[in-house]
């Protein structure tokens, strides 16, 4: 009862909420329970194995139980992540087609469950010139969104820029979005990952830098299109193009950067989801409490 009471009495209700990616072991119905056990105000999950295989069927009973758990525990917003193997720009037609199919399936599954948004990575340009790879990515995005009428947002997650990865720069993502129809863009938003952005050359280490990056995001992509932030410190150095998530305040971004993000009024209604390492019991709680302490000082 203590956990449920905390979730229902979230003092930051209808504003920026702090959550984390949780396990669905035993079924998606366990995700909100797992989130509540660590005091998360929102959560993110997969609805299938992130490494492949058939997606478990979501029957009416399971969906109803999942929604009941969310209601009981006070979760009005939650998020879904697609599997890791997505590559809309693959030279292998099966991989490219399957990537679009899986994203669309996950978008429909997320909408069935009542998720606020589903986010995905786009893939890599390693098989083609970048121009061709980007055109293939556009085709994949069009397949994902064709005829979609759900309420769950579809989010492009900004990447860390390693190798030939697609979507690490604001300008590139903006170009991709502009190739889509106005109808499809109505369902589309952006997920900003702090570790990815930092690794891609967007400095987030202090208040001045955070304000500059958010202003740049607003100019190129529009802050109205920012629907979620993945809050991760970075073990890798600035502009390294290396994707290494780390504990809040213990990496290269540091507490000053996250303090600035939490305090920025432009982000007051954007949720933060932790994808920090789970090396030891209690890591999730420590990272959540760090963000909560920063918020309490505002």
Which among 193, 233, 271, 284 is annotated as catalytic?
A: 193
CA angle 225, 229, 234 (to 5 degrees): 135
Which among 111, 243, 271, 284 is annotated as catalytic?
A: 243
CA distance 227 to 187: 11
Is residue 245 annotated as a catalytic residue, yes or no?
A: yes
Is residue 230 annotated as a catalytic residue, yes or no?
A: yes
- The CA distances from residue 276 to 22, 56, 175, 235, in Å, are 11, 26, 30, 11
Backbone angles phi, psi at 275, to 5 degrees: -125, 40
Find the Cα–Cα–Cα–Cα dihedral 48, 53, 59, 62, rounded to 10°.
-40
CA distance 56 to 43: 20
Which among 84, 171, 183, 216 is annotated as catalytic?
A: 84
> Which pair of tokens denotes residue 246?
């780390």
Tell me if 114 sits within 8 A of 70, measured CB to CB: yes
Is residue 187 annotated as a catalytic residue, yes or no?
A: no
Which among 48, 187, 244, 245 is annotated as catalytic?
A: 245
The set of residues, in sequence order, having a beta carbon less than 8 Å from that of 74 and lying 6+ positions away, is 4, 7, 8, 9, 10
Which among 205, 230, 271, 284 is annotated as catalytic?
A: 230
Find the Cα–Cα–Cα–Cα dihedral 204, 267, 229, 259, rounded to 10°.
40
Is residue 275 annotated as a catalytic residue, yes or no?
A: yes
Is residue 243 annotated as a catalytic residue, yes or no?
A: yes
Tell me if 233 sits within 8 A of 247, measured CB to CB: yes
Is residue 193 annotated as a catalytic residue, yes or no?
A: yes
Which among 48, 104, 187, 196 is annotated as catalytic?
A: 196
Which among 21, 121, 205, 244 is annotated as catalytic?
A: 121
- The CA distances from residue 157 to 32, 84, 251, in Å, are 23, 12, 21
Residue in the structure block whose two tokens are 């990537």:
99
Is residue 41 annotated as a catalytic residue, yes or no?
A: no
Is residue 84 annotated as a catalytic residue, yes or no?
A: yes
Which among 81, 109, 187, 244 is annotated as catalytic?
A: 81
Is residue 109 annotated as a catalytic residue, yes or no?
A: no
Which among 51, 59, 61, 131 is annotated as catalytic?
A: 51
Which among 206, 275, 293, 295 is annotated as catalytic?
A: 275
Which among 41, 106, 157, 184 is annotated as catalytic?
A: 157
Q: Would you tell me how many other CB atoms lie within 10 Å of the CB of residue 187?
A: 18
Residues with a known catalytic role: 51, 81, 84, 121, 157, 193, 196, 230, 243, 245, 275
């Amino acid at each position: 009862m203590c956990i449920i009471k905390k979730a229902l009495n979230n003092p930051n209700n209808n504003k920026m909420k702090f959550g984390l990616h949780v396990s669905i072991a035993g079924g998606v119905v366990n995700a909100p329970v797992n989130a509540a056990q660590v005091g998360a105000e929102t959560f993110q999950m997969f609805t299938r194995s992130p490494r492949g295989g058939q997606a478990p069927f979501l029957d009416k009973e399971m969906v109803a139980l999942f929604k009941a758990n969310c209601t009981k525990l006070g979760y009005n917003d939650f998020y879904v992540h697609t599997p890791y193997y997505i590559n809309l720009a693959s030279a292998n037609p099966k991989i490219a087609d399957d990537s679009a199919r899986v994203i669309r399936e996950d978008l429909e599954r997320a909408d069935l469950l009542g998720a606020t948004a589903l986010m995905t990575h786009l893939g890599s340009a390693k098989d083609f010139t970048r121009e061709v790879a980007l055109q293939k990515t556009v085709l994949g995005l069009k397949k994902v969104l064709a005829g979609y009428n759900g309420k769950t947002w579809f989010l492009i997650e900004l990447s860390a820029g390693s190798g030939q990865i697609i979507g690490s720069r604001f300008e590139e993502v903006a170009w991709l979005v502009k190739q889509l129809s106005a109808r499809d863009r109505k369902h589309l938003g952006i997920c900003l990952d702090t570790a990815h952005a930092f690794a891609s050359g967007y400095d987030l280490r202090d208040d001045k830098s955070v304000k500059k990056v958010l202003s740049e995001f607003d100019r190129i992509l529009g802050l109205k299109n920012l629907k979620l932030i993945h809050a991760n410190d970075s073990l890798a150095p600035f502009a390294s193009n290396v994707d290494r998530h780390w504990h809040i305040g213990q990496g290269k971004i540091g507490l000053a950067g996250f303090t600035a993000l939490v305090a920025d009024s432009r982000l007051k209604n954007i949720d933060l989801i932790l994808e920090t390492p789970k090396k030891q019991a209690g890591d999730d709680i420590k990272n959540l409490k760090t963000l909560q302490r920063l918020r309490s000082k505002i």
